[in-house]
Amino acid sequence: MLSVRIGFSPLNDAALVVLAEALGFYSAEGLDVSLSREANWSNIRDKLSYGLLDAAHVLATLPLARGLWLGPAIGHIIAPMALGANGNSVVISSKLKEVFEGLGASTLLESARALRLVIQHRRAVSEGKVTLAIPFNYSPHHFVLRHWLAAGGIDPDRQVQWVVLPPSRMADHLRDGVIDGFCSGSPWPQMAELNGNGVVLFSDPAFWTLKPEKVLALRGVWAEEHPEAAVALTRALLRAGQWAMDPSHADELALILSREAYVRAPLEAIQAALAPGGAGLILDPQTATFPWISHAKWFIGQFVRWGLTEGIHDFDAIARRVYRPDLWRQAAAPLGLSLPFEDEKDEGGADAPWMLPAAPDPVLMPPNTLFDGGVFRVRRA
């Protein structure tokens, strides 16, 4: 068996990575996997860079940041699959939630406008800026919060203070008044709410019903040296997704995630995040694991929008060098999954289930909408 070192962050959306170990899917694919529970995304990025990890559960933006020459420029990273969709929540202080309710803010757009009024009031009475925590600068969490703030007329660079914290520490900082809110992966937002340290304002599905969040990252050199293992690893995770989609496995899934070696969080918080109305995590290998080039381009567009890179790159080439639908198809075909005909799709604009052209059968996809009605369209010849 080939030995493979895989890093992960203790979050519910690492489910496929830990399930594949707990249920023996790695060994069934001829892989001897050792998992490494990491404290933060910088650790994972750096260990991938220096060859201390072969693969990892990472932010969907992390391999793209490498492709844009942001952060350490050592080694190429590819992403042969997504590890599901959704899974994050935004938590705010109870005091801030009371202000929103007093202003009648009941939608995401209304809450962003209400926050603008809070910011204006604080400035008028010489109070500090609203402070929001994220787990990594180049993260979907950061882009979600910026998009939401901007929709309410807030300048995320001038009117908000940003701090980077490990998700497991965010609730304590919220309780102590150091921050006003945070965005992180579950189950940490649900744990904060259960402990009375804050209130969940919204979760990923309210922002984007089928939001990309984490991917499987492979060190490029390792994937080139072990092409069959790269496909086998992807297939093991797809098999874990097939298992996770069985409703009868819901209780076992939560129990596995709560183990000391994995997420190491109270079962109640994990279950709250996985339950309907929670963080909306989707693990379906058919509808939520394809590495869409359109997802990569949307994220690259956010890097440009927020001044993190300049619009001088060949974004299509970067997206296709990093996201690898070809490897997903190789891994998925033997499992009987349908293979999408295209590598891109419109993001947003589908407020009802829709059919994705694929072989051998079309795929019934969930709704795909953004809260502000925006649509990121694929350019077709």
99 Cβ contact list (under 8 Å, min separation 6): 114, 118
For 77-128, write each residue's pLDDT tens digit.
999 999 999 999 999 999 999 999 999 999 999 999 999 999 999 999 999 9
Q: Which of 211, 41, 188, 92 is nearest to 140 (CA)?
A: 211
Give the pLDDT confidence score for residue 69 in this predicted structure: 84
Give the pLDDT confidence score for residue 66 in this predicted structure: 87
Query: The dihedral of CA 309, 211, 97, 198: what is its sign?
Result: negative
pLDDT band at 73 (very low <50, low <70, confident <90, very high): low
CA–CA distance, 236 with 240 (Å, rounded to integer): 6
Give the pLDDT confidence score for residue 281 in this predicted structure: 98
CA–CA distance, 65 with 273 (Å, rounded to integer): 28
pLDDT band at 380 (very low <50, low <70, confident <90, very high): low
Give the pLDDT confidence score for residue 84 in this predicted structure: 98
For the chain, domains (ranges, CATH) are: 2-86+211-245+283-345 (3.40.190.10), 88-206 (3.40.190.10)
What value does the mean pLDDT of the chain take? 95
Which letter does DSSP use for residue 305 in this model? H
Helix (H) or strand (E) holding 160: strand 160-164
For 295-321, write each residue's pLDDT tens digit.
999 999 999 999 998 877 788 999 999
Token look-up 């997420």 returns 263
> In percent, how much of the chain has pLDDT > 70?
99
Contact at 8 Å (CB) between 145 and 164? no
CA–CA distance, 348 with 377 (Å, rounded to integer): 8
